[in-house]
Amino acid sequence: MITIAIAKGRMQESALALLARAGIRLSEDAINSRRLALMDETGQYRFIFVKPADVPVYVEHGIADCGVVGRDVLLESEADLLLPLDLGIARCRLVVAAADPEAMTNVQGMIRVATKYSQIARAHFGARGIPVEIIQLSGSVELAPALGLADMIVDLVETGRTLRENGLTVVEEIGESTGRLVVNRASYQLKAEEVSRLLNALTTAM
Amino acid sequence: MRYYIGAEARLRRTVEDVAMSVFEGWNYEEVITPSVDYYDLFEQGMGQREAQRGFRFTDNDGRLLALRPDVTSSVARMAATLLSERPRPLRFCYAAPVFRQQTQSHAEWRRENTQLGCELIGAGGKSADLEMLRLAAEILARLNLESRYCITINNVEIFNGVAAQLNLSPSAREDFRRLIDTRAAAELQRFLQNYDSREGQVFAQPAQLTGKLAVIQTARNLITNERSVAALNVLDELWTEIESLGLQDVFDIDLGDVSSLDYYTGLSLKIFVHGAGTSVGRGGRYDGLTGNFGRAEPAVGFVLNLDALTEVLGRKGKHD
């Protein structure tokens, strides 16, 4: 049996749809229940649903053999994992956004950046030699510039609607983020057959 | 920070005794090295990046010290200096705690781990490599793990030869290594499109990097550079020996094990046990190390993580 940790929220629906195309299905009853650990119809796979940032933790410690989680979360975590498949689901962009399109040159003094992704923001500005003050938030990041908490934000953008409605424009693209399949290093060796069966099924379904 | 009390402490002691008695059976002498030593020693022994994970502090005269982050450095220096006159090969084993700072995602108690390890110094070639593999297999076989374990072997010169042939810049080489190490198949194929080389393709399909003898045969179809071919031959011969000992179920070849290239010079091995999320042991050949202490000679060794093994066996006991 293989345990797969799925990031709750944005990722969950498209991950389950992809898995269903790969022939790994959860019954309707199971999906509609509020249990956080479920078996698939064949009994070969167990699913656990956890917060996105916890997926790398469960997989690195081997509690889950595999996980489905966004690249944005992986960049932010320090977990040591295998990343065999880019599933191409829940595609979105990581961007720097600000109210003033020229903010990068117009801001006086130290730039203040509000974000949920402090590691990614630090690495992005650090690589370009721009000193910034990172303000770590856990949600509704788009509010920060309007209320004067920060000059810019680093955030995940799907359609760009939330940005527009809060008067922000994209200043820079940092990169793209899609759902990835991650695998625990020990499971990759010790459950090689099951893991490669899952990899093949997902590759065909993509 | 971790306490062992009563039954757990006894189990831990039993695991340690099993390993040490296997080492002793193969004529390995126990060695006890200092817990605190000059930081310099570990930087020479492990390289800067690994040594910096150690806990460092200064004495009253401002000299930089460290709590030992490994034992191998001390044993290598001892062999090159104190024991430079002793006839080779030297065989040493130890059970000793090492101290390393851990990344955020790890539990804090893992900052201290006890290594069960051995070093064979002054012997190169297949028979020394095979001795390590047999020692590791014998310890695991005696630990009541019900064959739910696996030792992966590789020869890092296979990657080194291909990387040299692709003529990679240091940063591209590191990217290539990281992509192989994390088995990122799509990125690997994109990376290799920039290089017009058949040989790189050997790493393009992560699924083909792990397995039994077929892995070597697949690699042979793509690799032609001398350095990698020589390494493949060494691995091939080693595998033949493993098969003739009837140990092939316990071992896997993993050409994708490229996690510590600046340290190992030939054989590298990792040990996985069902129930532990990370490898519980590792080792390999490090012919470049003893030269740092003034006497270059072949050396090979491995360590097992006593705390990780105890945890797996302890949990198993509770569930049965």
With CA atoms as reference, the chain A residue closest to B187 would be: A86
Please list every residue in chain A whose beta carbon sits closer than 8 Å to the beta carbon of residue B279.
Answer: 185-186
pLDDT for the residue numbered B320: 45
Contact between chains at B186 and A85 (C-beta distance less than 8 A):
yes
Of A61, A77, A189, the CB nearest to B152: A189
Contact between chains at B277 and A60 (C-beta distance less than 8 A):
yes
SS3 A179: strand
- Spatial separation of the C-alpha atoms in residues A72 and A76, rounded to whole Å: 6
Of A77, A86, A196, the CB nearest to B207: A196
What is the count of residue pairs from A and B with beta carbons less than 8 Å apart? Answer: 65
C-beta separation of B266 from B156 below 8 A: yes
pTM (predicted TM-score):
0.90
Residues whose CB falls within 8 Å of the CB of residue B164, separated by 6 or more in sequence, listed in order: B225, B227
The string of pLDDT tens digits covering residues A148-204 is 999 999 999 988 898 999 999 999 999 999 999 999 999 999 999 999 999 999 999
With CA atoms as reference, the chain A residue closest to B153 would be: A189
* Angle between helical axes of A192-205 and A10-21 (0-180°, round to 10): 100
**Phi and psi at residue B98, in whole multiples of 5°?**
-120, 155
> In the CATH scheme, what is the code of domain B149-273?
3.30.930.10
pLDDT for the residue numbered A135: 96
C-beta separation of B51 from B70 below 8 A: no
Interface test with A, best of B109, B150, B181, B182 (most A CBs within 10 A): B182
Contact between chains at B252 and A63 (C-beta distance less than 8 A):
no
Please list every residue in chain B whose beta carbon sits closer than 8 Å to the beta carbon of residue A189.
Answer: 150, 152, 210, 252, 254, 272
Which long-range contacts (C-beta less than 8 Å, at least 24 apart) are formed by A120-128? A120/A72, A120/A75, A120/A76, A120/A94, A120/A154, A120/A174, A121/A154, A123/A75, A124/A96, A124/A154, A124/A174
Say which range, A17-31, B81-95, B223-237, B291-305, has the weakest mean pLDDT: A17-31
Contact between chains at A61 and B277 (C-beta distance less than 8 A):
yes
Contact between chains at A84 and B105 (C-beta distance less than 8 A):
no
pLDDT for the residue numbered B318: 59
C-beta separation of A3 from A38 below 8 A: no
Interface test with B, best of A65, A80, A85, A182 (most B CBs within 10 A): A80
Which run of H or E residues covers position A5? strand A2-7
Contact between chains at B254 and A82 (C-beta distance less than 8 A):
no
Q: What percent of chain B has pLDDT over 90?
A: 82
Residues whose CB falls within 8 Å of the CB of residue A24, separated by 6 or more in sequence, listed in order: A40, A42, A44, A45, A198, A201
- Spatial separation of the C-alpha atoms in residues B313 and B320, rounded to whole Å: 11
Q: What is the value of ipTM here, to two decimals?
A: 0.89
pLDDT for the residue numbered B174: 94
What's the gap in Å between the CA of B207 and the closest CA on chain A? Answer: 7
B131-151 average pLDDT score = 93
Low-confidence ranges of chain A (pLDDT < 70): none
- Domain map of chain B by residue range? 149-273
Of B149, B183, B277, the CB nearest to A82: B183
pLDDT for the residue numbered B313: 93
- Spatial separation of the C-alpha atoms in residues B216 and B220, rounded to whole Å: 6
C-beta separation of A39 from A153 below 8 A: no
- Spatial separation of the C-alpha atoms in residues A178 and A87, rounded to whole Å: 7
B170-192 average pLDDT score = 93
Q: What percent of chain B has pLDDT over 70?
A: 97
User: Residue B38's CB: how many other CB atoms inside 10 A?
Assistant: 14
The string of pLDDT tens digits covering residues B244-284 is 999 999 999 999 999 888 889 999 999 999 988 889 999 99
- Spatial separation of the C-alpha atoms in residues A202 and A183, rounded to whole Å: 13
pLDDT for the residue numbered B267: 97
pLDDT-derived band at B317 (thresholds 50, 70, 90) equals low
With CA atoms as reference, the chain B residue closest to A57 would be: B105
Buried-state track B234-270, b at ≥16 Cβ within 10 A, e below 16: bbbebbeebeeeebeebbbbbbbbbbbbebbbbbbbb
Beta strands of chain B (E only): which ranges? 29-30, 36-38, 56-58, 64-67, 90-99, 112-121, 149-155, 210-211, 251-254, 267-273, 281-285, 299-305
Mean confidence (pLDDT) of chain B: 93
Q: Which domains does chain A have, with CATH numbers?
A: 2-90+178-205 (3.40.190.10), 92-175 (3.40.190.10)
If you write DSSP's letter for every residue of B114-144 in order, what string do you get? EEEEEEEES--HHHHHHHHHHHHHHHHHTTT
The string of pLDDT tens digits covering residues B14-70 is 999 999 999 999 999 999 999 999 999 999 999 888 899 999 999 999 999 999 999
Contact between chains at A185 and B272 (C-beta distance less than 8 A):
yes
Q: Give me A159's structure tokens.
A: 């359609």
pLDDT for the residue numbered B104: 59
Beta-sheet strand order (sheet of A45-50): A37-39, A45-50, A2-7, A66-70, A179-183, A82-86
Residues whose CB falls within 8 Å of the CB of residue A66, separated by 6 or more in sequence, listed in order: A2, A3, A4, A5, A59, A181, A182, A183, A184, A187, A195, A198
Residues whose CB falls within 8 Å of the CB of residue A186, separated by 6 or more in sequence, listed in order: A62, B272, B273, B274, B276, B277, B278, B279
B228-240 average pLDDT score = 96
Torsion sign, CA atoms A180, A185, A186, A188: positive
* Upper half-sphere CA count for residue B21 (Cβ side, 13 Å): 9
pLDDT for the residue numbered A41: 83
- Given phi > 0 = left and psi -120 to 50 = alpha, else beta, which region is B41? alpha
